Chain A
């Protein structure tokens, strides 16, 4: 007798647990307002990344096409995977030859977005930008030169 009762008890509790589960999914089915999908390419205008989001390294330029990079290579050293290459040149300042930035090469395809280069820079010349649409059809496009053509270093940055 006991086993018979257990048999039906099992069925009852089994069915009950199934119905509880169906109630949850049924709830979401009847509440389409709770849908969380964002339709990504369509919502480009409204999509805002958080300000700290690390998308790519950029060298800041001001309106006079000046940047703050002294070409000290600290970021190159801090980078764990050789993403940054600083190419120097020698310029005359007050009759002395000093090191300065010639080309700031940034291999986006190697960057792990670890952000170690940013605090390493003594002059805060580089920051992480929020962009994230990095896909290109040609790999060579991922190797970028970050200093704008004709740009020069800001006054007073050493």
Chain B
């Protein structure tokens, strides 16, 4: 009895399993948190719950078939993933695709980025407790998915790209619908600011939380808006332009703070940039064919090909090793989510549980992209 009384009170670290089923891990991610009260000491991500061995499957699929598998990775930027594979194959074939294809790919790519960011914005608000934003985000995203459905035939897994071009030409309504959307969304985007960006509670929740310095960003290879928020200039669209990005004017959004709010603001600003890219291109779609002629069976020459693109989450790379067969010898995807997740422990240390949720939504994880 005596020692119980005299012994000083000790605090003990304890563990919490966040996930695989948890509302704010956005999928089947499992985080093992070491907590001291509410303070996070360590975050250990356990991944693999939705691993489907896409890379292995690619080894015995033809190059046309590989494209549709990438829809299932980062499903929110599926068009851009498709584009990466197609660009890689076209690079291997040394195939010059028509200008029309390049422009259409760019427009739909930017629409994809917008829709991804809209969904992210909604979910970000919901993670921080403002459930209404979720529905507003989806409301605006709905118009983009309608555009996709009309032109590409599906709302989410579009599979609109094929090596050499597009599956079919854009729908006659495409330009009108896109312009309608742009006018609508330009009115709604300031609302996003009123609801979250300028809200005092939201600012308090995100400013100075989950800081990542530029050096850490580079060493963890955090890319995309999350990396650019720390001042790491890593926009593939700017540095290694593909498709029609060399023909449009746009700013690479860079911030220096590296906290949650910077990452948030980066994405909001990127939405404005995407709007401006679409506006520059939508009336200037060149006439021409929507597909360069390719053989029915595509065989890449022997060699290694790497193509990277900028998805809504960061740099997405496709690395193809070909032995001259009709399917690749080995194929590797460099997915942005995986690297971004690796910095989570670094960012979350010393934060509270509520901050972890905010950090996770600002690095915008899509779990199938991490697990592949």
Question: Do A's and B's CB atoms come within 8 Å in the complex?
Answer: yes
A residues engaging B (CB < 8 A)? 13-15, 17-18, 20-21, 23-25, 36, 49-50, 52-54, 78, 80, 112-116, 119-120, 128
User: Which of chain A's residues has its CB closest to B130's CB?
Assistant: A21
CB distance A52 to B168 under 8 Å?
yes
CB distance from A19 to the nearest CB of B (A): 10
Measured between beta carbons, the chain B residues less than 8 angstroms from A78 are 64-65
Residues 166-205 of chain B: 1 if any A CB is under 8 Å from the residue's CB, otherwise 0?
A: 0110010000000000000000000100110011110100
The reply to whether the CB of B159 lies closer than 8 angstroms to some CB of chain A is: yes
Chain B interface residue bracket vs A: 20 to 34
CB distance from B102 to the nearest CB of A (A): 21
Measured between beta carbons, the chain B residues less than 8 angstroms from A119 are 167
Measured between beta carbons, the chain B residues less than 8 angstroms from A23 are 194
Q: Can you list 18 A-B contacts with CB-CB less than 8 angstroms, sorted by A residue number?
A: A13-B200, A17-B198, A17-B199, A18-B201, A23-B194, A24-B194, A24-B195, A52-B149, A52-B151, A52-B168, A53-B149, A53-B153, A54-B154, A80-B65, A112-B68, A113-B157, A114-B157, A115-B167
CB distance A20 to B198 under 8 Å?
yes
Among A20, A52, A112, A114, contact of B194 (Cβ-Cβ < 8 Å): A20
Among A13, A20, A80, contact of B68 (Cβ-Cβ < 8 Å): A80
In the bound assembly, the distance between CA atoms of A78 and B64 in angstroms comes to 8
Q: Could you count the A-B residue pairs with CB atoms below 8 Å apart for me: how many are there?
A: 67
CB distance from A73 to the nearest CB of B (A): 13
In the bound assembly, the distance between CA atoms of A119 and B195 in angstroms comes to 46
Measured between beta carbons, the chain A residues less than 8 angstroms from B366 are none
Q: Which of B140-154 contact A (CB under 8 A)?
A: 142, 146, 149-154
CB distance A113 to B154 under 8 Å?
yes
8 A-B pairs with least C-beta separation: A80-B65, A14-B200, A114-B68, A52-B153, A50-B150, A54-B153, A17-B200, A114-B159
Measured between beta carbons, the chain B residues less than 8 angstroms from A80 are 61, 65, 68-69
CB distance A36 to B159 under 8 Å?
no
CB distance A116 to B194 under 8 Å?
no
User: Which of chain B's residues has its CB closest to A81's CB?
Assistant: B65
User: Which of chain A's residues has its CB closest to B291's CB?
Assistant: A119
Q: Which of B48-67 contact A (CB under 8 A)?
A: 61, 64-65
Q: If the complex has contacts A14-B200, A113-B154, are A21 and B194 also in contact, measured as CB distance less than 8 A? A: yes
Q: If the complex has contacts A116-B65, A119-B167, are A18 and B157 also in contact, measured as CB distance less than 8 A? A: no
In the bound assembly, the distance between CA atoms of A20 and B159 in angstroms comes to 41
CB distance B157 to A112 under 8 Å?
yes
The reply to whether the CB of B132 lies closer than 8 angstroms to some CB of chain A is: yes
Measured between beta carbons, the chain A residues less than 8 angstroms from B203 are 17
The reply to whether the CB of B139 lies closer than 8 angstroms to some CB of chain A is: yes
Measured between beta carbons, the chain B residues less than 8 angstroms from A36 are 139, 142
In the bound assembly, the distance between CA atoms of A128 and B146 in angstroms comes to 18
CB distance from B357 to the nearest CB of A (A): 20
Q: Which of B66-115 contact A (CB under 8 A)?
A: 68-69, 71
CB distance from A40 to the nearest CB of B (A): 14
Q: Which of B186-228 contact A (CB under 8 A)?
A: 191, 194-195, 198-201, 203
In the bound assembly, the distance between CA atoms of A25 and B61 in angstroms comes to 50
Measured between beta carbons, the chain A residues less than 8 angstroms from B64 are 78, 116
User: Which of chain B's residues has its CB closest to A15's CB?
Assistant: B200
In the bound assembly, the distance between CA atoms of A74 and B201 in angstroms comes to 59
Measured between beta carbons, the chain A residues less than 8 angstroms from B149 are 49-50, 52-53
User: Which of chain B's residues has its CB closest to A116's CB?
Assistant: B64
In the bound assembly, the distance between CA atoms of A19 and B152 in angstroms comes to 41
Measured between beta carbons, the chain A residues less than 8 angstroms from B194 are 20-21, 23-24
In the bound assembly, the distance between CA atoms of A75 and B200 in angstroms comes to 57
Measured between beta carbons, the chain B residues less than 8 angstroms from A115 are 153, 159, 167
CB distance B199 to A18 under 8 Å?
yes
In the bound assembly, the distance between CA atoms of A25 and B135 in angstroms comes to 12
In the bound assembly, the distance between CA atoms of A119 and B163 in angstroms comes to 13
In the bound assembly, the distance between CA atoms of A119 and B159 in angstroms comes to 13
User: Which of chain A's residues has its CB closest to B69's CB?
Assistant: A80
CB distance from B197 to the nearest CB of A (A): 9
CB distance from A123 to the nearest CB of B (A): 15
Measured between beta carbons, the chain A residues less than 8 angstroms from B150 are 50, 52
In the bound assembly, the distance between CA atoms of A52 and B191 in angstroms comes to 33
CB distance from B327 to the nearest CB of A (A): 11
In the bound assembly, the distance between CA atoms of A112 and B154 in angstroms comes to 11
